[in-house]
Amino acid sequence: MSLPVSLYSDNGDNFIVIGHRGASAYYPENTLGAFKAAYDMGAEMIELDILLSKDGIPVAIHDETLDRTTNGTGKVVDYTFEELAKLDAGSWFGKKHSSERILSLEEVLQFAKGKIALNIEIKTEAVADELKNGIEEKAYELVKKFDMLDHVLFSSFDYRAVAHLKELDVNIAAALLYEKEQSDGMGPKQLVNAYKVDAFNCNYRLFTKKWADETSEADIPVFVYTVNSERRMKKMIKKGVNGIFTDKPDLLKQVVDNMWKSKGD
Ligand code: G3P
Protein backbone atom coordinates (compact mmCIF):
# COMPACT_ATOMS: atom_id res chain seq x y z
CA MET A 1 0.00 0.00 0.00
CA SER A 2 1.42 3.37 -0.91
CA LEU A 3 0.14 6.73 0.24
CA PRO A 4 -1.87 8.69 -2.35
CA VAL A 5 0.25 11.86 -1.91
CA SER A 6 3.90 12.75 -1.43
CA LEU A 7 4.76 14.15 1.97
CA TYR A 8 7.45 16.79 2.34
CA SER A 9 8.98 14.92 5.27
CA ASP A 10 8.22 11.23 4.87
CA ASN A 11 9.51 9.15 7.77
CA GLY A 12 8.55 5.93 6.00
CA ASP A 13 5.85 4.83 8.45
CA ASN A 14 3.16 4.90 5.75
CA PHE A 15 0.99 6.95 8.06
CA ILE A 16 -0.09 10.60 7.88
CA VAL A 17 -0.56 12.89 10.86
CA ILE A 18 -3.28 15.26 9.64
CA GLY A 19 -4.12 18.54 11.34
CA HIS A 20 -7.91 18.80 11.13
CA ARG A 21 -8.67 22.40 10.05
CA GLY A 22 -5.08 22.97 11.25
CA ALA A 23 -4.28 22.52 14.93
CA SER A 24 -7.86 23.48 15.65
CA ALA A 25 -7.89 22.46 19.33
CA TYR A 26 -5.51 25.33 20.01
CA TYR A 27 -6.17 27.96 17.30
CA PRO A 28 -9.26 29.07 15.40
CA GLU A 29 -9.97 26.50 12.69
CA ASN A 30 -8.94 27.06 9.06
CA THR A 31 -6.79 30.11 9.86
CA LEU A 32 -3.11 30.79 9.30
CA GLY A 33 -2.52 30.48 13.05
CA ALA A 34 -4.02 26.98 13.06
CA PHE A 35 -2.10 25.94 9.94
CA LYS A 36 1.24 27.27 11.19
CA ALA A 37 0.77 25.57 14.55
CA ALA A 38 -0.06 22.22 12.89
CA TYR A 39 3.12 22.47 10.87
CA ASP A 40 5.20 23.43 13.91
CA MET A 41 3.73 20.48 15.85
CA GLY A 42 4.93 18.03 13.22
CA ALA A 43 1.73 17.40 11.26
CA GLU A 44 2.52 15.96 7.84
CA MET A 45 -0.68 17.22 6.24
CA ILE A 46 -3.20 19.96 6.89
CA GLU A 47 -6.88 19.45 6.21
CA LEU A 48 -8.87 22.53 5.19
CA ASP A 49 -12.39 23.12 3.95
CA ILE A 50 -13.22 25.29 0.95
CA LEU A 51 -16.25 27.21 -0.25
CA LEU A 52 -16.62 29.89 -2.94
CA SER A 53 -16.95 33.63 -2.36
CA LYS A 54 -19.47 35.72 -4.33
CA ASP A 55 -16.76 36.53 -6.85
CA GLY A 56 -15.80 32.87 -7.28
CA ILE A 57 -12.66 32.73 -5.12
CA PRO A 58 -12.10 29.47 -3.17
CA VAL A 59 -11.80 30.38 0.52
CA ALA A 60 -10.89 28.36 3.61
CA ILE A 61 -13.93 28.04 5.87
CA HIS A 62 -16.00 25.10 7.08
CA ASP A 63 -19.55 26.36 7.52
CA GLU A 64 -21.81 27.63 4.76
CA THR A 65 -22.50 30.67 6.97
CA LEU A 66 -20.12 33.09 8.65
CA ASP A 67 -21.85 33.23 12.01
CA ARG A 68 -20.04 30.54 14.02
CA THR A 69 -16.42 31.32 13.14
CA THR A 70 -16.33 35.02 12.25
CA ASN A 71 -17.87 38.35 13.27
CA GLY A 72 -19.85 38.33 10.01
CA THR A 73 -23.28 36.99 9.40
CA GLY A 74 -25.07 35.22 6.55
CA LYS A 75 -23.76 33.06 3.75
CA VAL A 76 -20.11 33.03 2.63
CA VAL A 77 -21.27 33.03 -1.00
CA ASP A 78 -23.01 36.40 -0.52
CA TYR A 79 -19.71 38.25 0.07
CA THR A 80 -16.76 39.02 -2.21
CA PHE A 81 -13.35 37.83 -1.10
CA GLU A 82 -12.38 41.44 -0.38
CA GLU A 83 -15.31 41.68 2.04
CA LEU A 84 -14.63 38.28 3.62
CA ALA A 85 -10.96 39.13 4.18
CA LYS A 86 -11.97 42.10 6.37
CA LEU A 87 -13.79 39.89 8.88
CA ASP A 88 -12.37 38.76 12.22
CA ALA A 89 -12.07 34.97 12.06
CA GLY A 90 -10.39 34.52 15.44
CA SER A 91 -12.17 36.34 18.28
CA TRP A 92 -14.88 33.68 18.56
CA PHE A 93 -12.09 31.35 19.71
CA GLY A 94 -10.31 33.82 21.98
CA LYS A 95 -9.58 37.56 22.11
CA LYS A 96 -5.87 37.07 21.38
CA HIS A 97 -6.74 35.55 17.98
CA SER A 98 -8.58 38.63 16.72
CA SER A 99 -6.09 39.21 13.90
CA GLU A 100 -6.97 35.92 12.16
CA ARG A 101 -8.64 36.32 8.76
CA ILE A 102 -10.47 34.15 6.27
CA LEU A 103 -7.81 32.99 3.81
CA SER A 104 -8.15 32.33 0.11
CA LEU A 105 -7.01 28.88 -1.06
CA GLU A 106 -4.25 30.73 -2.90
CA GLU A 107 -2.93 32.12 0.41
CA VAL A 108 -3.03 28.65 1.99
CA LEU A 109 -1.05 27.24 -0.93
CA GLN A 110 1.48 30.06 -0.57
CA PHE A 111 2.00 29.02 3.05
CA ALA A 112 2.07 25.25 2.42
CA LYS A 113 4.30 25.08 -0.63
CA GLY A 114 7.60 23.39 0.18
CA LYS A 115 6.45 22.68 3.75
CA ILE A 116 3.38 20.56 4.20
CA ALA A 117 0.92 18.45 2.20
CA LEU A 118 -2.75 19.42 2.08
CA ASN A 119 -6.11 17.71 2.12
CA ILE A 120 -8.52 20.10 0.45
CA GLU A 121 -12.08 19.20 1.36
CA ILE A 122 -14.60 20.65 -1.08
CA LYS A 123 -17.77 21.48 0.79
CA THR A 124 -21.02 20.20 -0.67
CA GLU A 125 -22.65 23.65 -0.55
CA ALA A 126 -20.24 24.91 -3.24
CA VAL A 127 -20.60 21.96 -5.62
CA ALA A 128 -22.73 22.25 -8.77
CA ASP A 129 -23.86 19.69 -11.33
CA GLU A 130 -21.75 21.43 -13.97
CA LEU A 131 -18.03 20.80 -14.04
CA LYS A 132 -17.18 23.96 -16.02
CA ASN A 133 -15.94 26.84 -13.88
CA GLY A 134 -16.96 25.07 -10.67
CA ILE A 135 -15.12 24.98 -7.36
CA GLU A 136 -13.31 21.75 -8.28
CA GLU A 137 -11.84 23.28 -11.44
CA LYS A 138 -10.84 26.50 -9.66
CA ALA A 139 -9.14 24.61 -6.83
CA TYR A 140 -7.41 22.26 -9.25
CA GLU A 141 -6.05 25.15 -11.35
CA LEU A 142 -4.66 26.87 -8.25
CA VAL A 143 -2.95 23.72 -6.97
CA LYS A 144 -1.50 23.18 -10.44
CA LYS A 145 -0.27 26.79 -10.56
CA PHE A 146 1.61 26.21 -7.31
CA ASP A 147 2.97 22.94 -8.66
CA MET A 148 1.58 21.08 -5.66
CA LEU A 149 -0.52 18.38 -7.31
CA ASP A 150 1.72 15.64 -5.87
CA HIS A 151 1.21 17.03 -2.38
CA VAL A 152 -2.56 17.51 -2.36
CA LEU A 153 -5.34 15.05 -1.63
CA PHE A 154 -8.77 16.36 -2.66
CA SER A 155 -11.87 15.03 -0.93
CA SER A 156 -15.58 15.65 -0.66
CA PHE A 157 -18.75 14.28 0.89
CA ASP A 158 -20.33 15.22 -2.42
CA TYR A 159 -19.52 12.39 -4.81
CA ARG A 160 -20.20 14.66 -7.82
CA ALA A 161 -17.15 16.74 -6.82
CA VAL A 162 -14.93 13.68 -6.71
CA ALA A 163 -16.16 12.53 -10.12
CA HIS A 164 -15.54 16.04 -11.52
CA LEU A 165 -11.98 16.05 -10.20
CA LYS A 166 -11.18 12.75 -11.87
CA GLU A 167 -12.75 14.06 -15.09
CA LEU A 168 -10.48 17.11 -14.93
CA ASP A 169 -7.36 15.02 -14.45
CA VAL A 170 -7.38 11.31 -13.81
CA ASN A 171 -4.09 11.64 -11.92
CA ILE A 172 -5.51 13.92 -9.22
CA ALA A 173 -5.30 12.25 -5.81
CA ALA A 174 -8.88 12.15 -4.59
CA ALA A 175 -10.70 10.52 -1.69
CA LEU A 176 -14.37 9.86 -1.14
CA LEU A 177 -15.63 11.09 2.19
CA TYR A 178 -18.12 8.37 3.03
CA GLU A 179 -21.70 9.57 2.89
CA LYS A 180 -24.33 6.89 3.41
CA GLU A 181 -27.13 8.48 1.36
CA GLN A 182 -25.03 8.57 -1.82
CA SER A 183 -23.52 5.12 -1.37
CA ASP A 184 -26.37 2.79 -2.45
CA GLY A 185 -25.41 0.25 0.18
CA MET A 186 -21.87 0.02 -1.18
CA GLY A 187 -18.87 -0.45 1.12
CA PRO A 188 -15.37 1.03 0.77
CA LYS A 189 -14.10 -1.38 -1.88
CA GLN A 190 -17.06 -1.01 -4.21
CA LEU A 191 -17.12 2.77 -3.77
CA VAL A 192 -13.41 3.19 -4.43
CA ASN A 193 -13.74 1.09 -7.58
CA ALA A 194 -16.91 2.83 -8.75
CA TYR A 195 -15.44 6.34 -8.39
CA LYS A 196 -11.84 5.32 -9.22
CA VAL A 197 -10.54 7.21 -6.20
CA ASP A 198 -7.24 6.86 -4.40
CA ALA A 199 -8.38 6.73 -0.78
CA PHE A 200 -11.36 6.22 1.47
CA ASN A 201 -12.06 8.76 4.23
CA CYS A 202 -14.64 8.16 6.93
CA ASN A 203 -15.75 8.90 10.45
CA TYR A 204 -13.74 6.69 12.84
CA ARG A 205 -16.99 5.40 14.36
CA LEU A 206 -17.94 3.80 11.02
CA PHE A 207 -14.61 2.04 10.54
CA THR A 208 -15.60 -1.44 11.65
CA LYS A 209 -13.50 -4.61 11.66
CA LYS A 210 -15.33 -5.62 8.46
CA TRP A 211 -14.30 -2.42 6.70
CA ALA A 212 -10.75 -2.68 8.09
CA ASP A 213 -10.40 -6.20 6.62
CA GLU A 214 -11.98 -5.17 3.32
CA THR A 215 -9.74 -2.12 2.80
CA SER A 216 -6.59 -3.87 3.91
CA GLU A 217 -7.21 -6.82 1.53
CA ALA A 218 -7.93 -4.42 -1.35
CA ASP A 219 -4.92 -2.22 -0.49
CA ILE A 220 -7.04 0.91 -0.07
CA PRO A 221 -5.57 3.81 1.94
CA VAL A 222 -7.94 4.85 4.74
CA PHE A 223 -8.05 8.14 6.64
CA VAL A 224 -10.40 8.56 9.60
CA TYR A 225 -11.74 11.68 11.31
CA THR A 226 -11.80 13.24 13.92
CA VAL A 227 -9.81 11.54 16.66
CA ASN A 228 -8.58 13.55 19.62
CA SER A 229 -7.98 10.99 22.37
CA GLU A 230 -4.82 8.96 22.78
CA ARG A 231 -6.74 5.75 23.41
CA ARG A 232 -8.73 6.07 20.18
CA MET A 233 -5.68 7.09 18.17
CA LYS A 234 -3.92 3.88 19.22
CA LYS A 235 -7.00 1.80 18.48
CA MET A 236 -7.32 3.25 14.98
CA ILE A 237 -3.62 2.80 14.21
CA LYS A 238 -3.88 -0.84 15.30
CA LYS A 239 -6.85 -1.24 12.96
CA GLY A 240 -4.50 -0.28 10.14
CA VAL A 241 -5.63 3.21 9.07
CA ASN A 242 -3.11 5.22 7.05
CA GLY A 243 -3.81 8.55 8.64
CA ILE A 244 -5.89 10.30 11.25
CA PHE A 245 -7.50 13.72 11.16
CA THR A 246 -7.05 15.30 14.57
CA ASP A 247 -7.50 18.71 16.16
CA LYS A 248 -4.40 17.83 18.26
CA PRO A 249 -1.58 16.97 15.86
CA ASP A 250 0.97 17.30 18.67
CA LEU A 251 -0.69 14.43 20.56
CA LEU A 252 -1.04 12.24 17.48
CA LYS A 253 2.60 12.84 16.54
CA GLN A 254 3.66 11.73 20.00
CA VAL A 255 1.47 8.60 19.87
CA VAL A 256 2.76 7.65 16.41
CA ASP A 257 6.41 8.28 17.29
CA ASN A 258 6.12 6.15 20.44
CA MET A 259 4.40 3.29 18.63
CA TRP A 260 6.97 3.45 15.83
CA LYS A 261 9.83 3.48 18.36
CA SER A 262 8.48 0.53 20.33
CA LYS A 263 8.12 -1.44 17.07
CA GLY A 264 11.83 -0.98 16.43
CA ASP A 265 12.84 -2.13 19.93
O1 G3P B 1 -12.28 15.70 5.95
C2 G3P B 1 -12.42 15.07 7.18
C3 G3P B 1 -13.39 15.79 8.07
O4 G3P B 1 -12.99 17.12 8.16
C5 G3P B 1 -14.80 15.68 7.58
O6 G3P B 1 -15.74 16.24 8.43
O7 G3P B 1 -17.35 17.96 9.10
O8 G3P B 1 -14.97 18.29 9.60
O9 G3P B 1 -15.80 18.48 7.28
P10 G3P B 1 -15.98 17.81 8.61
User: Does any domain span residue 7?
Assistant: no
Which residues, other chains included, contact 223 with Cβ-Cβ below 8 Å and sequence gap of 6+?
Answer: 16, 18, 119, 175, 199, 200, 201, 241, 242, 243, 244, 245
Q: Which atom of ligand 1 is nearest to the CA of 223?
A: 2
User: Does any domain span residue 245?
Assistant: yes
Q: What is the pLDDT of residue 222?
A: 98
**Whose alpha carbon is nearest atom 7 of ligand 1?**
62
* Digit-coded pLDDT (tens) for 126-183: 999 999 999 999 999 999 999 999 999 999 999 999 999 999 999 999 999 999 999 9
User: Does any domain span residue 9?
Assistant: no
CATH of the domain at 175: 3.20.20.190
Q: What is the pTM of this model?
A: 0.97
**Whose alpha carbon is nearest atom 6 of ligand 1?**
225
Mean pLDDT of 86-102: 98
Q: Are strands 45-52 and 243-246 parallel, antiparallel or unpaired?
A: unpaired
Please measure the distance between the N-terminal and C-terminal CA atoms of the chain and give it in whole angstroms: 24
Distance 61 CA to ligand 1 centre (A): 11
* Known active-site residue 151: no
**Whose alpha carbon is nearest atom 5 of ligand 1?**
225
Q: Which of 78, 142, 103 is nearest to 22 (CA)?
A: 103
* Pocket of ligand 1 from Cβ distances under 6 Å: 20, 47, 49, 121, 155, 177, 201, 225, 245
Q: Which atom of ligand 1 is nearest to the CA of 245?
A: 2
Give the rounded percent of residues in the chain with a pLDDT score beyond 70.
Answer: 99
Q: What is the pLDDT of residue 47?
A: 98
Q: What is the pLDDT of residue 262?
A: 80
User: Does any domain span residue 165?
Assistant: yes
Distance 157 CA to ligand 1 centre (A): 9
Q: What is the pLDDT of residue 264?
A: 66
User: Does any domain span residue 241?
Assistant: yes
User: In angstroms, what CA-CA distances link 22 with 51, 75, 122, 182, 241?
Assistant: 17, 23, 16, 28, 20
Q: What is the pLDDT of residue 1?
A: 73
User: Does any domain span residue 209?
Assistant: yes
Q: Which atom of ligand 1 is nearest to the CA of 62?
A: 9
Task: Name the residue of 29, 49, 205 to mutate for ligand 1: max ligand atoms within 8 A of Cβ.
Answer: 49
**Whose alpha carbon is nearest atom 1 of ligand 1?**
121
Q: Round to whole Å and give the CA distance between 18 and 44.
A: 6
Instruction: Choose, from 20, 97, 151, 164, the residue flagged as catalytic.
Output: 20
* Digit-coded pLDDT (tens) for 29-67: 999 999 999 999 999 999 999 999 999 999 999 999 999
At 12, is the pLDDT very low, low, confident or very high (cuts 50, 70, 90)?
confident
Domain total of the chain: 1
Distance 224 CA to ligand 1 centre (A): 9
User: Does any domain span residue 5?
Assistant: no
Domain assignment of residue 192, given as a range: 16-264
Mean pLDDT of the chain: 97
Distance 225 CA to ligand 1 centre (A): 7
Q: Round to whole Å and give the CA distance between 79 and 94.
A: 24
Which residues, other chains included, contact 67 with Cβ-Cβ below 8 Å and sequence gap of 6+?
Answer: 73, 74
User: Does any domain span residue 6?
Assistant: no
